[in-house]
Amino acid sequence: MQAEKEEEEASPEEYVALCDFTARGSEQLGFSTGDKLLVHAKPSADWWWAELQGVIGYAPASYLRQDAAEDEDEDPWQDDEYFGSYGTLRLHLEMLSDRSRTETYRQVIVSNSASLRNKVVMDLGCGTGIISLFCAQLAQPSVVYAVEASSMAEHTRQLVKQNGCEEVVTVLQGRAEELELPEQVDILVSEWMGNCLLFEFMVESVLLARDRWLRDGGVMWPSSAALTLVPCQADSYYSEKMAFWERPYGLDFTPLQPLAQQEFFTKPKFSHLIDPKDCLSAPCDVICLNMYTVQEMEGEFKFCVVKPGVFHGFTAWFTVQFESLEAGGATVELDTGPNSDPTHWKQTLFMLDKPIHVYGGDSIRGNIVLRRNPVWRRHMTVTLHWTINSSSDNCQVGTKSFPMWK
């Protein structure tokens, strides 16, 4: 029985949600239609122990089906699932409710409105059309091509009309990869950023559209992006998921700790909100992308620990910059880090397997590599290597790879 259980835990099975389920209580796992859940165990016929984006809980078995199409028949970009999710309001509501994000785009348009006059703009992945509508209402471009692959495009057309922008904004429903335009564009604006900046790799579609449709000397918004990393404490997360097993109800449950590590610390934790006081050093930009050129997705870091603490892991977030079209105009920046207004991306936490005590003056150096999954093109593995040099004793070396998600 034990062996069987272990086998089940070792290779969770993927299931697809047939309909939405709202969790009642913290033991249950909520999900939406089309979500892919990993089922770790089937303790009863009705309730399975499942995982969705790093969150674990009981899911009703009858809501799930194993995808009939086996992996090899599936689209490596998972476009049906990806664009399916953007065809409903859930994600658009989350994005539009994120004021820091949306206001930054508005500010970019407002502060460049004079230079946008008579320009040809492409809003790639326009969603509800918010950025296109900002352009049409706050500046006077000659045309905005609002490109959207999901079925939201049908509603976007209506929103454009409803807001009297149909003379300027043309909604084109389809994938950027198959786009046909009557002309090249002066400005390519897009909100393509995912968790940990690159997750879902929409940036690839943006770069492809840039090569095909941006005229020589045209402008990309964002113009650059950076992934930032900081070594951090994550005491409460560690206590909740790992230290918990030390003595629950006066019993020694430590044999479950390796399982806990596998279950909770193998993948990064999305939607983490780091308290600036949990940063063990100043953050460091580890990957900088210039949107006009192609770059390596790897970088180095060297952190100087500023106070004694427990090094539980690394937290990552990103910034993007929008260059000004006006001579001497200010660059606008969107910062998703802990010292700015929170955004819906929050931060991403990468837990080490074992916490390490560090002291002021220690250094943590190493590198980060983002590697695309060779099959599943929207997924990647983040690998961190680190060396801790401490004044008190020798150096410690570590490495860990985190799948996000496949």
Which residue reads 């599936």 in tokens?
74
Give min distance, CB of 53 to ligand SAH, in A: 17
Which CB, 88 or 261, lies closer to ligand SAH? Answer: 88
- Candidates 41-49, 144-152, 222-230, 249-257; binding stretch for ligand SAH (CB under 6 A): 144-152
Q: What DSSP line would sit under 338-382, residue for residue?
A: TTS---TT-EEEEEEEEEEEE-TT-EEEEEEEEEE-SS-TT-EEE
Q: Does residue 263 bind ligand SAH (CB under 6 A)?
A: no
Distance between CA atoms of residues 41 and 11, nearest Å: 10
Q: Does residue 120 bind ligand SAH (CB under 6 A)?
A: no
Q: Which of 368, 399, 384 is nearest to 285 (CA)?
A: 368
Residue from 63, 86, 134, 265 binding ligand SAH (CB under 6 A): 86
> Exactly one of 51, 148, 191, 323 is catalytic; which is it?
191
Which residues, 6+ apart, have CB-to-CB distance to 81 below 8 Å?
Answer: 34, 36
200 in catalytic set: yes
Q: Does residue 202 bind ligand SAH (CB under 6 A)?
A: yes
Q: Does residue 95 bind ligand SAH (CB under 6 A)?
A: yes
List the Cα angle 230/231/235 in 5-degree steps: 120
Pairing of strands 13-17, 36-41: antiparallel
Tokens of 44: 């009863």
- Candidates 33-41, 147-155, 353-361, 376-384; binding stretch for ligand SAH (CB under 6 A): 147-155
Residue from 109, 126, 370, 404 binding ligand SAH (CB under 6 A): 126
Q: Does residue 150 bind ligand SAH (CB under 6 A)?
A: yes
Q: Does residue 160 bind ligand SAH (CB under 6 A)?
A: no
Which residues, 6+ apart, have CB-to-CB distance to 247 below 8 Å?
Answer: 253
Which CB, 200 or 323, lies closer to ligand SAH? Answer: 200
Beta bridge partners of 363: 304, 389
Q: Does residue 149 bind ligand SAH (CB under 6 A)?
A: yes
Distance between CA atoms of residues 213 and 235, nearest Å: 48
191 in catalytic set: yes
Q: Does residue 130 bind ligand SAH (CB under 6 A)?
A: yes
List the Cα angle 111/117/118 in 5-degree steps: 150
Q: Does residue 131 bind ligand SAH (CB under 6 A)?
A: yes
Q: Does residue 222 bind ligand SAH (CB under 6 A)?
A: no
> Exactly one of 4, 8, 13, 200 is catalytic; which is it?
200
Catalytic residue set: 191, 200
User: Which residues lie near ligand SAH (CB under 6 A)?
Assistant: 83, 86, 95-96, 125-128, 130-131, 147-150, 152, 175-177, 191, 202, 205
